[in-house]
Amino acid sequence: MESTNNSEPTHVVIVDDHKMVVDSLSRLINESGIAQITGVYYDLKSCRRGLATMLPEVLLLDIGLPDGDGVDFCAEIKKEYPELKIIMLTTYKEFSIAKRALHNGALGYILKNAESEEMLAGIETVSKGKQFLCEEIDILLKEKRDEGIVWLSNREKEVLKYIADGYTTKGIADLIYRDVETVRSCRKNLLIKIVAKNTAVLVKKGYEMKLIW
């Protein structure tokens, strides 16, 4: 897969403690024409230091690292660098882990055995701010969604909590530093996802489904 325009390649950092994985991915990404590796870290401690001096556009983050859980780290760095786009890169294909990663702010979830084209497509998609799930995880999550599980983005969960606390649309917009139309659209999405006909029902079902705590 090669870039079809003259734009600068996406800057990518890899965090993984397996050197063979890092070397293979670095070669694939650097030769793709769509992205460039600007940093490699083998543990979370060095990643923290590195991100403080140079922030990439996309972070490929392993889950099982020597000094911590990549999923927990995802939530930590998203608070500090909300603009950073994170793809979990892992061997774990359990529903609960994928769900937690997405709830913690990951925009992508790719298994390490994914095809090269899928890996590059994930980087390209996530760099544009869109979610990307590798095929196996996408199928897994769709099966669980069919069982009635409601998925909310971090922004939707935040807005839902403020709605439950009684804030108006304008009040929420001021709190999250977004325009009123963005919040209004988010409220509409919440009503559709939770299948609620009005705000009162939305809040009631939000508590019942443990989407608000």
Share of the chain above pLDDT 70, in %: 94
User: Does 148 score more than 60 pLDDT?
Assistant: no
Residue 4 clears pLDDT 50, i.e. is over it: no
Q: What is the pLDDT of residues 18-42, one digit of tens each?
A: 999 999 999 999 999 999 999 999 9
The torsion angles phi and psi of 28, rounded to 5 degrees, stand at -60, -50
pLDDT band at 103 (very low <50, low <70, confident <90, very high): confident
Residue (of 199, 104, 87, 206) closest to 150 by Cα position: 206
Structural domains present in the chain: 10-145 (3.40.50.2300), 154-208 (1.10.10.10)
Beta strands in the chain (DSSP E): 10-15, 35-41, 58-62, 64-65, 68-69, 85-90, 108-111, 132-133
> What's the mean per-residue pLDDT of the chain?
90
- Is 3 a residue whose pLDDT tops 70? no
CB 41 within 8 Å of CB 13: yes
pLDDT of residue 189: 82
Local confidence band at 213 (pLDDT 50, 70, 90 cut-offs): confident
pLDDT exceeds cutoff 70 at 112: yes
Give the range with max mean pLDDT: 79-88, 99-108, 201-210.
79-88
Mean pLDDT of the region 73-102: 91
Alpha carbons within 13 angstroms on the beta-carbon side of residue 139 total 4
Per residue in 27-66, is it b (16+ CB within 10 Å) or e — as a string?
Answer: ebbeebebbebbbbbbebeebeebbeeebbbbbbbbbebe
For the residues 170-188, what does the mean pLDDT come to?
92
Mean pLDDT across the stretch 1-19? Answer: 78
Residue 191: pLDDT band (50, 70, 90) is confident
Computed over its alpha carbons, how large is the radius of gyration of the chain? 18
Instruction: Evaluate if residue 81 carries a pLDDT over 60.
Output: yes
**CB contact set of 38 (below 8 Å; sequence gap of 6+):** 11, 12, 13, 54, 56
d(CA 15, CA 61): 5
Other CB atoms within 10 A of residue 19 CB: 10
Kindly state the average pLDDT of the residues 179-188.
90
Tell me which amino acid residue 109 is.
Answer: Y
Residue 149 pLDDT class (50, 70, 90 cuts)? low
